[in-house]
Each structure stands twice: as structure tokens, then as C-alpha cells.
Structure 1
Amino acid sequence: MDKNRATAEAILPLVGDAANVSSVAHCMTRLRLGLHDRSLVREAELRALPAVLGVVEDETYQIVLGPGTVARVTPEFESLLTRSRTPSPSPSPSPPPSAPTADGLAAKGEAMRSSRKARNATPVKLLLRRIANIFVPLIPALIGCGIIAGLGGLLTNLHQLPSLAPALAALASGFLSLIAVFVGYNTAKEFGGTPVLGGAVAAVIVFPGVAQVDAFGRHLAPGQGGVLGALAAAALAVRVEKWCRRRVPEALDVLVTPTLTVLVPGLVTLYGLMYAAGAVAGAIGDFATWLLRYGGAGAGLVLGGLFLPLVMLGLHQALIPLHTTLIEQQGHTVLLPILAMAGAGQVGAAAAVYVRLPRNTSLRRTIRSALPAGLLGVGEPLIYGVSLPLGRPFVTACVGGAAGGAFVGLFHQLGSAVGSTAIGPSGWALFPLLAGDGGLGEALAVYGGGLLTGYVAGFVATYCFGFTHTMLAELNTPPPATAPTTPPRPDTEPAPSTP
């Protein structure tokens, strides 16, 4: 049995089985479950599972599985839920129609997400997920080093603590100078090879001595090819290692396999991959610069408006290596602040839903609880709990993202480029990681203006065009009153129903 399916099957009975699970989601490391009754959780047994690294109780019940693992276990868990839940016929007559509740919309959003995952499990998208799994574990280090770099730059600009600024610069740059090694390590781990051999092959890319290598009459530059070259080199190393494991006698395996795994891909990297990956990386940087320099507002509008659909299709994972390449080349990625505007449009759309449905207390409660996370760039609760199941508000949220992206793109064209020194955070959480050609103050102003534009445009578009008259009539009614747990005594009059 697949280990991820086995993990899902072990977790489900320990959280009260399918009937106790109201929602399923995951972030980089945690399986997030909405549970009807947490007292049914057998936490001691859950923590004892080998795949479970910890448990966190919050708005959702969060099971820490680690990066990469959680992305594989979650679909298996959702599949188990789908198979376990069968509709039960009810002998009682159907109740009168009422407004969809937040739980109903969340269930609808979850069903849409599960259906989308089932339809989109194509080889290309599965490959993109695996590539994302290589880079996601690097995000905490990118964030930490990005903030340290920003702090060091601030001290330099303010002419404060001159002896500390170089130390901060060293701390911030050390990881980026060796990021190819970490990418090689994670690539080999993800594709089933020996991680340290993947790191060893990728390390040649950043070794200063490659400057002495004469490959076809040209000398290499340390770091040439960057993370893309490291990924390709480690992937090739995995292929060579698996070939050796099948053919090298066991008595010689410990000597021959590691040697060939480093030697063959290492030579291919030095005499081919570093050139090819360097050309691709340079083209990515040049294209991003050209696109925003000459595309401006139009490019920002398209990027900001299409990012939410890309997330829905799973294609946003292809952007992670691009962001990392831009950070490695230029010190920041100019694409992320524009793409982050999609979250601003989502927040504005959710606020408009809240205002337009004053009597739907269940949905408004969901929006109130999810908005703080949305402001910090965590948009999944709003997407799958509010806008996507409602339909039209998802489209108007994209309009808000397009408006915010156009704002940031326009200022880039005017010479006020804004970038992020790390990937992962979005919304307000991106402010500490901003960098720009015109200084930190200008970058903060442009990004803040983009967020405000996205909020306002998403709100206005949703308020004016997010609902039909029929949708308003169906949605803008209070949820049905909860039925009493015990029937009234036969010798008393039943209490009047609440209007």
C-alpha cells in the first residue's frame, strides 16, 4: 500500500472518522481539519503515528506532517472522505428553502477543490507539484534571510551601526550563495535518490574553482546556471544512481554507485548544463524586466487578474523556480508583489459579500474569521469558503487583483520597481520583505497603493456585479433556526417561532 494512503487511513479513525470532519485543507506543513467534535479525537494515538510530527489546536485542528508529505497525504485523505460519505435518504419532507450556510458553502468549495484535483492530476501538473516540493522547504530560510537583508540595508541607509551592517549582509547572502546545494539535495530526495549525492553534484555549480575549467574555449563562472542548473544536475544524478543500483553488484555498490553518481552528472553539468541553465536563467531575468518595463499596467493587469485562476488550476507552482531564480539573480523577484494583488482583490470581494448579505449570519461569521488571514496573504479560507462556491464573487475578486496589479505595473514602468526578497508571504506580511530601485519608502508606498487599489476594486466590482437578483433573494436570508433537542411537553403550548 502507498505510504501516503496508509498515513491517511491511519489518521481518519483517530479524528472521529469521516462524519466528524467538516473541512480539509493544507498549508506547507500541516493538514488542517475542521472537526465537528474535537472530543472524538484520540490525540495520544495520533501523535504516536510515525508520520505525524506534531498537533496544533487552533481555528482548525492541524496535524503537522512536514513539507512535501502533507501535499501527498491530503488528496488521499480527501479521497477517503469521499468514499466514506454516502448520501442517506431522509423520510421526512424537505424543509423550505433557506440561505446557504457557511458550512454548506465550505462543503461546496471543498467538493469543487477535490473535483478539480481529480481532473487536474495530469503528468505535467504532478511534475509541477514535485518541483514545488523541492522549493517549498527553502521558503523559511528565504524569508529569514530576506528580512535580515532588509534590516541590513536599512541600517546602511540610515548610517547606523556600521560594524553590524556587514555582518547582517553576510548572514543574508550566505544562504543564497549556497542555495544550489540545497536545491540539489531536495531534488534528489524528492525524486527518490540519495539526497547528499544530489547536493554534491549541485555543489559544483557554486564552487569557485569552476572558474578554472575551460569548457569548449570558455571559462565558467561560479554560480552559472543557479537553481535551475542545480535542479537539472540533481535530477540527472538520480537517474544515474537508480541505473547503478540495478546493475552494479552489491559487493561493489558502496564504491561504484556514489562515484558514478557524482562523476557522470558532474561532468555533464560542467560541460553542458551550466551553460544551458545559465542561458535560461538569464532569459527569465531579461524577460521579467522587459515585460514590466514596457508592458507596465497592461502586464500587471494580466498577471494580477489571472493569478487566482492559476492557483485553481495548480499552475502557480511553476512560478516558484522563476521567483527563486530572480531572487538569486537580482536580489528580489518583481513578479511576487504584482501576483500578491490577487489576494487584495479577494479580500475586497469578501468584504463586499459581507456588506451585501447582512442577514446571512452564518456566511458573515465565516468572513469575519477568515478576513484577518486574508489580509496576511492566506486566501484559501476566503476562496474555498466564500468566493469560489458563490461563483460570481470569484470573478470579481480577479477584477480586483487585476486593478492592483495594473497599479504596481504602472509604477514599475515609471521607474519605481518593487520586488520581494523572498517568496511565501503575501498581503501585509510582504511589507518587511519589500525592496525597490527607489528605496524602501518608495517600495512600501507603491505596494501599499496596489493593495488599496485591489481592495477597493474588488469591493466595488463585487458589490455592483457579484450578485444577481435571484442570488440576493436566496442568500440574503437568515439560516434556519435550530430544531429543539427535546419535544415540548404535551400539556404546554409550544413556544412561538422566532421570526
Structure 2
Amino acid sequence: MNNKELAHSIVKNLGGENNIANLTNCITRLRIDVKSGNNVNLEAIKQIDEVLSVIDQGTIQIVLGPGKVTKVANEIHESTTINVDVDDNDSEFNVASDTKAAYKAKQTSMFQQLFRHIGNIFVPIVPGLVASGLMLGIANLITNLANPDAGILDPGVLDSNWYMLLQAIGNLLFGSLGVFVGINTAKEFGGTMVLGGIAGLLINAPVLSDIGSLNLFGLDLKLSAGLGGLLGVIVASYLFVKIEKFIRKRVADSLDLVLTPLITVMVGSMVTIVVIQPIAGLLMDGITWFLVDVMLEAGGVIGGFVLAATFLPLVTVGMHQGLIPVHLELIDQFGSTTLLPILAMAGGGQVGAMIAIYIKAKNKRLKNTVASVLPVGFLGIGEPLIYGVSLPLGRPFITASLGAGFGGAFLSLFNVGAITVGPSGIVMIPLIADNNYLLYIVGLLISYAGGFVLTYLFGYKEEMVYKLYGESATRTKKEGANTSNQQEGFHINSPLSGELRPLNELKDEVFATEAVGKGIAIYPSEGKLYAPTNGKVTTVFPTGHAIGITTDNGMEILLHLGLDTVDIKEKVFQLKIAKDEKVETGDLLCEFDMAAIINKGFDLTSPIVITNSDAYDTINPIEQKQIDAGSKLLTIK
């Protein structure tokens, strides 16, 4: 059965929609309260192949396993009038807030939080920047083709209404970019968006240049429209948010609508003009001086090499988002950003490295992975290449970065710029300024070649495959393989410190009968859950009590904190990760309040199971009573 058919069959054998009083799901099973047990056919449900187990303890539990249960619950939610509920605060169908909270918890340092905020402000604007930039690129191409020396288009096309309209639409966003940045900044920090928009308008108000100077306490304050750029807009909008929140707490409700926005705009505008604009202007001038005058002009090919070679490490920690306002400031000052094409060479180095790995690799699984991510790499989307192959392998990430440096060094010689922020790779070609398309393409080819040569010669060895898949370099697992060809044993570490307990001693029948997989249970001595191995977080239950991790070699691990803890409504679990996030062995996944869980009457015994146990011959727990987090827990063959 597909999931829709399975959902329909379960509902039917539960007596139909009208017989279901309540239906919830946790990470492994559906939990159903029915109005009349006489209308329920449990035996028929047990006979369904996709059903792992059925338990009737007043509340009927239908065990489907991680992942499957969410999809089936979703089908029931969408195809019936039954209210499928996970908890009182959130559901599996709307977990954006939990995911965002977990992501925020992961961003611990001041710089990480800063760049995350900048990313949240600018990323929603990028599609508009790409569209506007491409329209201006088309207009630029028409201008070049209409040049009398080219002799391709009639010069009169430049006076046509259609051409002028194309240019005007392309310039719309750039003319009002400060407004959008101000609105998004206010939204990001929890303020009124229109007030943030006013902050953006203020920074670029033409009247500032018309006034020229303002006498304040006997001092002549120089005014200028655009001073401080988008950095000034962000800081000014943030200030407006802080003032708004401060005033709102201190005025009567009846006066809030009038006084709060009035005081916010008046005070915020004065501080922006007097303090924020001059300081932000100095900062932007300093950043521009360092990148353009020092790194590109004085640094020359060395500066270009360093910028391109160090960009990928910035991407992996999210710091690349912080460069968006810098690019836009360069475009505002010079008409294009020469920094962006140089940094785009980083993606080219990755593409070259992938080609080298594909040619050298003998492992079919790795070759298939490279073949699947390589096309989007050419289009300038580098994350699948980075996180799927080069970064886990390690050395190819370094050789790809160094190879990209050669492309960056080449472009630094010719002052190749881009007219807007957008994708890299071949998709950036129409965005290149001043007809330097061919130079950009040559730079891209050099970065391809650099990444390829360095990776082919120094960046890849076949034994690295084990880092990705935990299997030998030259072999992939085959059905029917004999014992001598089977994969060597490997292990996962304990995610908890505490006392080991066999699954068959658990009060929960689903885990005790190994219905969802083999493994071991731990009664924790510390309220911290760690990643037992490298992998990807494929499931995060909204309550935080259960996390699913899939390793790079396909093992599916369920970490379930306590028994029946899905019923705890208070926030006793504090997630430190989010769904789809890559984790490494020992990363902190969750903190939990042991005392609160015990005081609420819940069993803290925590099953650690391999949910796709059928894929392995043996899964053996360590033979000891106590274990420390990070010690070897399970050996798998």
C-alpha cells in the first residue's frame, strides 16, 4: 500500500472517522482513542504488511516506524475530518517554529547570530535582486548590440518605450532597496515593519543632501543621502525596534497607537542622522577600502587568490551572508561589485573537484552521489557538493578551495564585476558588467581546472570512502553477498551516560518486542543527549523527546528520551539541532530536565534502536552495566 491507502485502511478498520475520538502520533506510532471498541477490527490492522505492531491498552497504538508514521498521520489529516494532533502547542505539520528555535539554539557565538540575522534580512530579497539584475543584464546586452560598431541592432531601439520600460523595471528594486531592508530588519527583530521601512527611507532621503549641514549644539553636522548605506539602514531599523519596544511598555494602551510610533520615528530619526549615519558611513568606507583597495588593488592576484580560496570556509559557517550588504554597497558606489565574481570562483573549484573524484573513484555509490550533485554545481548551487561530498571527505574540500583561488587570481587582473547579487556558476554570466562575459567564463574554467588538478593529484584517495559510507573503498553492498564479502563491523557511540538496560525489560511493548528495531536502552545519569555518530538529522519530533539520525552509510538510528514522554506538554526538552542538519559524533543534540520528567511520573529509560535493523546481520550492544556518553555502545555488521 502507499501511504494514502494505508491511512484509509487504518481508519476503516478503526470503525471509520466517526468512531475515532482522538488521534495523535509520536515518532514511531499512531495513538488512537475510539468511541466504541466493538467497531474496531484490530486483527485486520495487524495483517497489514506496513504495520509493525498493534497494542491495545485502552489507547490503541499502531506502530509504523519513524518517518512512515508522520506520512500516514499527514494523509489522515488531509483526507479526513479527524483532527490529528501531536501536542497542544504545535504539530508535525507545522514545525517551522520549533525548527527555527532549534536553529537559533545552535547559533551560540555573537558572530554566528549576527550573520544569521543578516541572512534572514537579505535572503528573502535575493530573488528580486536576481530578477532585477537579469533584466538590467538584458538591457545592457541590447545596448551593446545597438552600438553602431556592433551593427547588429538598430540604435533607435534604445529610444523605444519597451527598452525604457525594461530598464525602469530593472531599476525599481535598487531604487527602493533600503525600504525592503528596513522592513525585513524590523520583522527580524520583532518590530513594526512599516517603521523599519521609514528607517530605510530616511537613510536615503534626498532632503539630506539638499540640506547639506545641520547645526546641532553649535556644531555643523554634515548630511548626505545614502550615507552609511545598507549597514546604516540595518542599524537604524534595529534602533527603531528597540525604541518602539521601550516606549510601548511605558505608555497607556489608549495612547499606544499615537505615541509609540511618533516617538519612535522622531527619536530614532534624530539618532540615525546624528550618530548612526556617520559611524556606519565610516565602517562601510573601511570595509570597502580593505576589500577593494587592499585585497584587490594592492593585493592583486594574491588578494584575488586569497579571497576566492577562503570563501568556502565562510559558506560552511554562514558568514557569507554578511557580505551581501558589502556587494550592494559596491554596486551603489561603483556600478558593479568586483568582489562577487571572484568569490563565485569557489563554486567552480568545487565542480572541478567533483569531476576529479568521479574519474578516480571506484566506489559506485560515491560516483552516483557525485553524478547527482554535479549538475547543480555548474548552476552555482554549491551546498550539495560541499555537504554531500567534499566536506565529509575533508581533503577535497581543501583542494577545491585552493583550486578556486586560481580563478579568483585571474579575475582580479581584469576588474570583472557583477551588476547585482545573484547565483554563481554559469548562471552569473548574464550579470557580468561591461561586456566582460568571456573573462568571467575563462576565470570559471580556470577554477574548474584548478579544483580538478589539485584534487586529482592530492585531494582524493579511495580509502576516504569509508568516511562517507563506512564501507570498503572498492565495494558496494550487494544482495546475496557471501560472508567473506560482507562489510566489516563498525560501531556507534553511546549518546547518553547512564545504566544500560536490555530492550526486553522495557515496559513499552513496542520497544521491548523490537518492533521498531534492535538496540539497547539507557537510564540516563545526565540530562544531555549527544550524536552517537556522524550523520544527518532526518527526524526531530516537535516535543524534543525523539530524534532520528541517518548516517552517511544509510543506518537509521532512533534516539528516544524516556517512555511515553510525547505526552509531556511542558518544555522539558531543549533541542540544540534542527531537522536536515548535519551532525558529527559528540555534537550536543538535546538537553532535558531529568527531575521534571521523573516528577511528572514518566520513565526516563531511553531506547537507542536501529530502525532498519533488517539491513544488518548482527547488532550487538556492549556487555557492561554503566556507560559514559561517547563510549562504544553498539557493534554492527
TM-score w.r.t. the length of structure 2 is: 0.56
- Tell me whether 1:479 sits opposite 2:479 in the alignment: no
Q: Please identify which structure carries the higher strand content.
A: 2
Larger RCO (alpha carbons 8 Å, 6+ apart): 1
- Tell me whether 1:42 sits opposite 2:74 in the alignment: yes
What is the distance in 1 between the residues matched to 2:480 and 2:113?
46
What is the distance in 1 between the residues matched to 2:198 and 2:477?
63
- Tell me whether 1:366 sits opposite 2:369 in the alignment: yes
Equivalent residues in 2 for 1:263-274, closer than 5 Å:
263-274=266-277
Letter in 1 for 2:197: G
Equivalent residues in 2 for 1:224-263, closer than 5 Å:
224-263=227-266
| Counterpart position of 2:620 | none
SS where residue 480 of structure 1 aligns? coil
| CA contact 2:132–2:171 (8 Å) conserved in 1 | yes
| Counterpart position of 1:22 | none
- Tell me whether 1:403 sits opposite 2:406 in the alignment: yes
| CA contact 2:327–2:337 (8 Å) conserved in 1 | yes
- Tell me whether 1:276 sits opposite 2:274 in the alignment: no
1:255 positional shift: 0.7
| Counterpart position of 1:169 | 167
1:368 positional shift: 0.8
Deviating more after overlay: 179-188 vs 309-318: 309-318
| Counterpart position of 1:393 | 396
What is the distance in 2 between the residues matched to 1:408 and 1:268?
41
CA deviation vs aligned residue, 1:17-59 (integer Å, no higher than 9, x gap):
xxxxxxxxxxxxxxxxxx899975836848999xxxxxxxxxx
SS where residue 420 of structure 1 aligns? coil
Structure 1 residues 74 and 239, CA, compared in 2 at 3 Å: closer, same or farther?
closer
What is the distance in 2 between the residues matched to 1:45 and 1:14?
17
| Counterpart position of 1:127 | 114
1:12 positional shift: 9.0
Letter in 1 for 2:200: A
Structure 1 residues 275 and 356, CA, compared in 2 at 3 Å: closer, same or farther?
same
What is the distance in 2 between the residues matched to 1:266 and 1:315?
30
Letter in 1 for 2:419: T
Letter in 1 for 2:179: V
| Counterpart position of 1:113 | none
What is the distance in 1 between the residues matched to 2:456 and 2:78?
45
Letter in 2 for 1:179: L
| CA contact 1:421–1:433 (8 Å) conserved in 2 | yes
| Counterpart position of 2:188 | 190
1:228 positional shift: 1.4
What is the distance in 1 between the residues matched to 2:199 and 2:461?
59
314, 320, 326: which is aligned to 1:316?
320
| CA contact 2:302–2:409 (8 Å) conserved in 1 | yes
| Counterpart position of 2:455 | 462
What is the distance in 1 between the residues matched to 2:371 and 2:462?
24
**Which of the pair has more CA radius of gyration?**
2
| CA contact 1:149–1:168 (8 Å) conserved in 2 | yes
CA deviation vs aligned residue, 1:163-219 (integer Å, no higher than 9, x gap):
243333322222212111111111111001111111112212222222343324355
SS where residue 350 of structure 1 aligns? helix
- Tell me whether 1:340 sits opposite 2:339 in the alignment: no
Q: Please identify which structure carries the higher helix content.
A: 1
1:11 positional shift: 11
| Counterpart position of 1:152 | 139
- Tell me whether 1:433 sits opposite 2:426 in the alignment: no
CA deviation vs aligned residue, 1:324-353 (integer Å, no higher than 9, x gap):
222222222211111111111111111111
Letter in 2 for 1:132: G
| Counterpart position of 1:329 | 333
CA deviation vs aligned residue, 1:293-318 (integer Å, no higher than 9, x gap):
22121011111111111112332222
Structure 1 residues 44 and 132, CA, compared in 2 at 3 Å: closer, same or farther?
farther
What is the distance in 2 between the residues matched to 1:255 and 1:428?
52
1:74 positional shift: 6.2
Letter in 2 for 1:151: I
1:471 positional shift: 4.1
69, 76, 99: which is aligned to 2:102?
76
SS where residue 459 of structure 1 aligns? helix
Structure 1 residues 472 and 371, CA, compared in 2 at 3 Å: closer, same or farther?
closer
Structure 1 residues 46 and 222, CA, compared in 2 at 3 Å: closer, same or farther?
farther
| CA contact 2:340–2:421 (8 Å) conserved in 1 | yes
Equivalent residues in 2 for 1:12-91, closer than 5 Å:
42=74, 45=77, 73=99, 76=102
What is the distance in 1 between the residues matched to 2:166 and 2:117?
33
Letter in 1 for 2:122: F
What is the distance in 1 between the residues matched to 2:476 and 2:109?
40
What is the distance in 2 between the residues matched to 1:453 and 1:37?
49
1:246 positional shift: 1.1
What is the distance in 1 between the residues matched to 2:119 and 2:28?
30
RMSD, aligned CA: 3.3
| CA contact 1:357–1:475 (8 Å) conserved in 2 | no
Structure 1 residues 175 and 382, CA, compared in 2 at 3 Å: closer, same or farther?
same
1:461 positional shift: 0.9
| Counterpart position of 2:300 | 296
| CA contact 1:11–1:46 (8 Å) conserved in 2 | no
SS where residue 171 of structure 1 aligns? helix
1:446 positional shift: 1.5
Letter in 2 for 1:127: L
SS where residue 299 of structure 2 aligns? helix
Structure 1 residues 229 and 389, CA, compared in 2 at 3 Å: closer, same or farther?
same
1:221 positional shift: 2.8
1:153 positional shift: 1.9
Letter in 2 for 1:166: M
What is the distance in 2 between the residues matched to 1:328 and 1:334?
12
What is the distance in 2 between the residues matched to 1:222 and 1:212?
9
1:470 positional shift: 4.7
| CA contact 2:462–2:473 (8 Å) conserved in 1 | no
Letter in 1 for 2:182: G
Structure 2: segments with no counterpart, 5+ residues: 1-23, 31-66, 85-92, 147-154, 482-637
| CA contact 1:14–1:42 (8 Å) conserved in 2 | no
SS where residue 215 of structure 1 aligns? strand
Q: Percent identity?
A: 41
What is the distance in 1 between the residues matched to 2:400 and 2:431?
25
What is the distance in 1 between the residues matched to 2:29 and 2:145?
53
| CA contact 1:14–1:43 (8 Å) conserved in 2 | no
Structure 1 residues 424 and 153, CA, compared in 2 at 3 Å: closer, same or farther?
closer
| CA contact 1:147–1:432 (8 Å) conserved in 2 | yes
- Tell me whether 1:357 sits opposite 2:357 in the alignment: no
Structure 1: segments with no counterpart, 5+ residues: 1-9, 17-34, 50-62, 80-116, 485-499
| Counterpart position of 1:379 | 382
| Counterpart position of 1:142 | 129
